[in-house]
Amino acid sequence: MELSRPVSQEQVHLRAGTLPVRGRLNAFTIALLGFLSRRRWLAVAALAGPGMLLVLALVVVPAVVMICMSLWDVQNYSLVKEWNIENYKTVFTDKLYTETLFRSVRIAAVVTFFSVLLATPVAYVITFKIRRRRTFWFGAVIVALWVGYLLRIYAWRIFLGQDGVLNGILMWLGISDEPVMAFLFNDFAIVLALVHLCTPFALVPIYAVMQQVPDSLHDAAFDLYASRIRSFFQVTLPLCAHGIVAGGSFAFILSFGDYYAPTLIGGPGGALISNIAASQFGTSLQWPMGAAIGMVMFAVVLLVLAIPFLLTSFITRRRRAATAIGPTEIVTNRSEEA
């Protein structure tokens, strides 16, 4: 029933996203009118209406308020609605903010790299090596999440601290005579705790995508004398690329936005950009500044999430170009030979 309905050329363009803006608006009105005339809007309004209200009230409006607030000012401990861009100027020029921002991005990038590096072999082993009781092993990794966000960071403090377990074990075994201070209160500890926090989250999409890779492809690769490693890099990895990108995005979003790890186990100068943003809403009462930092963080996240998207579209465009050129090249070569 749905399929047999004639589809206008404009709708085809609209779906493919190839219409110019003017045409898109036109097609949108046509679609809207058709939609309204079929009375389906009643069903949609009943089903999705409350959700739209929720999204409007708790996602859209707050975002707009944050944007506005980032352009306001605080004087004498109260909000002054005078539009200005001073907060952004400070974020982009004050060394405290710029350096912390770069350090936060760097730490989040390192955490993302290691989370994906750890999650990928786990997904691979569960999918292709264990086979039986896959769900149990996947669950075993995910259960590691269940002690709680804060506890998983704080546990590293027990483990790495001066009187901590690692030092205790090292001295107990006679490897060191004195407690080693270097484990805790530095960027290494932050990265370690955040990798631990993010790895299960990175695993979920990577595992889900790897489930879709058919075994027969590996058999084919082996039949063609590819080694395991080669079949992994040339068959499995490209097929799982979008899962890895999703997992990496999760890890980046989570680690870039975390402000508990630096507070609990970071060094004295360990504050990250999220700590600075959070502190603006605490005792310092600098809400507009906090909102501006929030906006900058949002921009960074969007930028980072766009990287894989831009990269893949670039690669596919180049591939398309290559296939377009390919055959003609062969022809010219042949003519030269002749």
Partner 1 sequence: MSGGFKALRPMASESVLWISFGLILVFLYIPIVFVVLYSFDTNEIMTWPPSGFTFSWYEKFFNNSQLLAAFLNSAKVAVASIVIGLLIGVPSAVAMDRFQFPGRGVYQKLLMMPFVVPGILGGITLLTLFLLVDIKLSLLTVIAAHATLVTAAVVLQTSVGLARIDRELESAAMDLGANEIRAFFNVTLPNLKSTILGSILLGATLSLDEVTRTFFVTGGDNTAPMQVWSLLRQGITPEINAAATLLFLVSLILLGIWANTVKEETR
Q: Which of residues 172-211 bind partner 1 (CB under 8 A)?
A: 172, 196, 199-200
Structure tokens at 126: 């569960």
Which position has the token pair 């009781």? 133
Apex 214 CA angle, 212 and 217, nearest 5: 140
Q: Which of residues 220-249 bind partner 1 (CB under 8 A)?
A: 227-229
Residue 79-118 contact track with partner 1, rule CB under 8 A, x = bound: x--------------------------------------x
CB of 4 to partner 1, least distance (A): 14
Which of 207, 256, 271, 289 forms a contact with partner 1 (CB under 8 A)? 256
Please, what is the minimum distance in Å from the beta carbon of residue 135 to partner 1?
7
What string marks each residue from 310 to 329 as x (binds partner 1 by CB under 8 A) or -? --------------------
**C-alpha atoms less than 13 angstroms from C-alpha of 195 in its C-beta half-sphere:** 17
Name the residue nearer to partner 1 (CB basis): 92 or 298: 298
Query: What number of other Cβ atoms are within 10 A of residue 152's Cβ?
Result: 19
**Own/partner pairs, 58-66, CB within 8 angstroms, 24+ separation:** 66/291, 66/294, 66/295
DSSP E strand boundaries for the chain: 73-75, 78-80
Q: For residues 117 and 315, which CB has a smaller minimum distance to partner 1 in the complex? A: 117
Q: Give the residues across from 74 on adjacent strands.
A: 79
> Taking the complex as a whole, how short is the minimal distance between the CB of residue 124 and partner 1, in angstroms?
7
203: which 2 tokens? 């695993």
Contact 89, 170 (CB under 8 A): no
Q: Rounded CA gap, 281 and 14, in Å?
A: 44
Choices 94-102, 181-189, 258-266, 307-315 (CB under 8 A): range interacting with partner 1: 258-266
Is 74 a binder of partner 1 (CB under 8 A)? no
What are the structure tokens assigned to 294, written together?
A: 């929030």
Among 8, 9, 25, 65, binds partner 1 (CB under 8 A): 65
Q: If binding is defined by CB under 8 A, does position 262 make contact with partner 1?
A: no
With CB under 8 A as the contact rule, the residue among 87, 107, 156, 194 that binds partner 1 is 156
Q: Is 151 in the site for partner 1 (CB under 8 A)?
A: yes
Decide: 31 and 14 in contact? Cβ < 8 Å: yes
Binding mask 35-64 for partner 1 (x = CB under 8 A): x----xx-xx-xxx-xxx-xx--xxxxxx-
Span near partner 1 by CB under 8 A; candidates 93-101, 134-142, 209-217, 324-332: 134-142
State the Cα–Cα distance between residues 307 and 321, nearest whole angstrom: 21
Residue 211: Cβ-neighbour burial (10 angstroms; 0-12, 13-18, 19+): middle
DSSP 8-state class, residue 128? I
Q: Interface mask (CB under 8 A) for partner 1, residues 268-307, using x and -?
A: ------x--xx--x-----x--xx--x--xx--x---x--
Nearer to partner 1, 228 or 317 (CB): 228
